[in-house]
Amino acid sequence: MIYLVCFCTALILLLIIMAYGKAVDMNVLLLNFALTVGNGGFFAMASSKNLDEALLANKLAYVIGVFVPLFVFLIICNICRVNIPRFLCVALYAVQMIIYLTACTMGKYSIFYSMAEYHTGSSGAYLTKTYGPMHTVYIVSMLLYTLAGIVIGVVSLNRKNVVSRNNVYVLLFADSLSVGVYIVERLVHLNFELMPVALVIASIGFMILIVRIYRYSVYNNQNIIEDKLKQTGYIIFNKKLKFMGCNEFATELFPELAGWELEDKIPGNGGRFNTFLRQPLMSYIKQEDREIKTEGTYEYRGEAYRYQMGTLTTAAGGLRGYVIQLSDVTGVLRDKSDGDI
């Protein structure tokens, strides 16, 4: 029964996080998804009728052990403003996927479990296992992510202007609780799992903290981002100068953009873009040092607008394309004129 309660609680937490949509980091959603799937695995394990069913459920349960430490580590890095390069994140995901694939071999090969026996008890079905070499790798990865998260948290205690100390304490508690319970389970050799209960307790506190941080963070507040987009226009081209898209405000300033074909060259016919921006864009592309952004203003029907041209780069620093940023500066220029008088 306790496993069913844990599974339902994890499912409710997942639905709550999904309700926040873009307000939270992707890893928060992945964390809750992994907790839901893993707790479902624990419940299925307790309800299993034979060894094959128990092994299948156990594979689902390992979603927690393999992926949750990584997700928690990345979330801690994000909250504490520690930048992890994208290529490194991809590499970490790949390593954990490989570990999980080896866990899926239990019952067929001895790489993760060399032996597993099925039993039933007062709390439901359970397995007694003899571990293979990849299980050691799994334990090491879990401990490394937990230790790394704790180190980042402890260091962040001295960065009070970056993250609240109270938040760090909650992060450290949530990061260490599950691993601590796992170690206790292995030392005591219990016939039932405490992990689902510990994870639900940790995740409730963890999710309350995360939602509070993301709701009030300038970096993640979607309303602020959307408000900025409504006042700023963006036009994007790839490195071959083909039109890749724009936002609504840019279309208001240059209505012809709504008729431009995506991934096609800039049309040569008239329009405000060709009148005001085409020549500055071509000059910017021809200049040797594109890191120096081209800026300028233009007027249309008594209104003044500022444009800024820059580059889009890949993670490795290569050229990916070009972006034109537009803003209405009529009020600013008028205020300056009034000040001069």
pLDDT value of position 276: 93
Instruction: Classify 17 as helix, strand or coil.
Output: helix
Tell if the pTM clears 0.75, that is, is over it: no
pLDDT range class, residue 138, cuts 50, 70, 90: very high
Distance separating alpha carbons of residues 168 and 81, to the nearest angstrom: 12
Chain mean position to CA 64:
17
Residue 30 CB contacts under 8 Å (≥ 6 apart), including other chains? 67, 71
What is the rounded average pLDDT of the residues 36-65? 90
Query: What integer is the mean pLDDT of 281-287?
Result: 90
CA 128 to chain centre: 36
Architecture of the 228-340 domain: 2-Layer Sandwich (3.30)
Residues 6 or more apart whose Cβ sits within 8 Å of residue 341: none
Q: What percent of the chain has pLDDT over 70?
A: 84
CB 103, CB 26: distance < 8 Å: no
What's the CATH fold of domain 2-220?
Rhopdopsin 7-helix transmembrane proteins (1.20.1070)
Residues 220 and 77: their CA atoms lie apart, in Å, by 15
Query: What does the pLDDT look like over 302-311, one tens digit per residue?
Result: 889 999 999 9
Q: How confident is the model at residue 161 (pLDDT cuts 50, 70, 90)?
A: low
For residue 11 the two structure tokens come to 């499912």
The tokens for 334 are 């008028």
Residue 5's pLDDT is what?
A: 85
What pLDDT score was predicted for residue 206? 72
- Measured between alpha carbons, how far is 88 from 97 in angstroms, rounded to an integer? 14
Per-residue pLDDT band for 167 (boundaries 50, 70, 90) equals confident
Domain boundaries, the chain: 2-220, 228-340
pLDDT at residue 82, rounded to an integer: 87
pLDDT number for residue 120: 87
Bigger pLDDT: 58 vs 3 = 58
pLDDT of residue 242: 92
Mean of pLDDT over the chain:
83
User: Does 341 have pLDDT greater than 50?
Assistant: no
| Interatomic CA distance for residues 49 and 66, integer angstroms | 25
Residue 336 scores a pLDDT above 60: no
